[in-house]
Amino acid sequence: MADQLYLSYWLHGFTEDTMLRQYDKMLRLFPFSRLARPGPVFRIIPIDYNEPAVFEKAYGNEFDIGDVLTAAKEFQHPDSCYILEAAWDLWQFDADWHLAPSRAALCCFGPDFESPDGENLRIEFGLETLFLPQTGIPNSLRMAQSNIKSLLKLVHDLDDRLNPDRRLLATESGGSLPEKLQQALSQAEE
């Protein structure tokens, strides 16, 4: 069964005063989709995930990250979560291979907000199957490799810019993406 893939960051000196600067760095490095329709949606959730959003705005495809950060600053609190639901372009199979928007959620957790794993920043990439070769689909290995290269480039760029204390690229069940990739590659060779 497919798992959700996510990337989490724990940052040194992460406070209410620095959190939106760090979020800005993450947003500016993310390769937003040029194909997605409609554009991103930005939400601010106070206290915990059970609370309704105090702010929600849908943006067009040609949106300005500065507008998102201006909205975030209006509701800047240490117990808030900031989520930009967007997309990036990955190779996907639907009768044939094509670049298509794939959902991603870019999250910043205030220091007093209970994040899923205690992280400060998180990107949720959707199903891990986008990054694993699938048996029975032609060119699956090559296309999965392309998607993995996109993922690794983003991780590398974020590591350089954020200088994290710790980073975790993992699946929802705690499984290791490299182990699943190795398993999928060995099945493809059989």
For residue 190, being part of any structural domain is answered with no
Number of domains in the chain: 1
Confidence band, pLDDT 50/70/90 cuts, at residue 141: confident
For residue 22, being part of any structural domain is answered with yes
Domain that holds residue 55: 4-184
For residue 189, being part of any structural domain is answered with no
Query: How many angstroms separate the Cα of 102 from the Cα of each of 1, 64, 129, 137?
Result: 19, 20, 12, 19
Residue 176: the pLDDT is 67
In contact, 169 and 4? CB cutoff 8 Å:
no
Q: For residue 9, how far is the Cα from the chain centroid? A: 11
* pLDDT tens sequence across 66-78: 999 999 999 999 9
* pLDDT tens sequence across 29-52: 999 998 888 889 999 999 888 889
In contact, 145 and 91? CB cutoff 8 Å:
no
pTM comes to 0.91
For residue 81, being part of any structural domain is answered with yes
For residue 122, being part of any structural domain is answered with yes
Burial class (CB in 10 A: 0-12, 13-18, 19+), 64: exposed
For residue 154, being part of any structural domain is answered with yes
Residue 97: the pLDDT is 94
For residue 37, being part of any structural domain is answered with yes
Confidence band, pLDDT 50/70/90 cuts, at residue 133: confident
Beta bridge partners, 124, equal: 6, 105
Taking the alpha carbons of 45, 47, 48, 52 in that order, is the dihedral positive or negative?
Answer: negative
- When pLDDT is averaged across residues 163-186 and rounded to a whole number, the result is 78
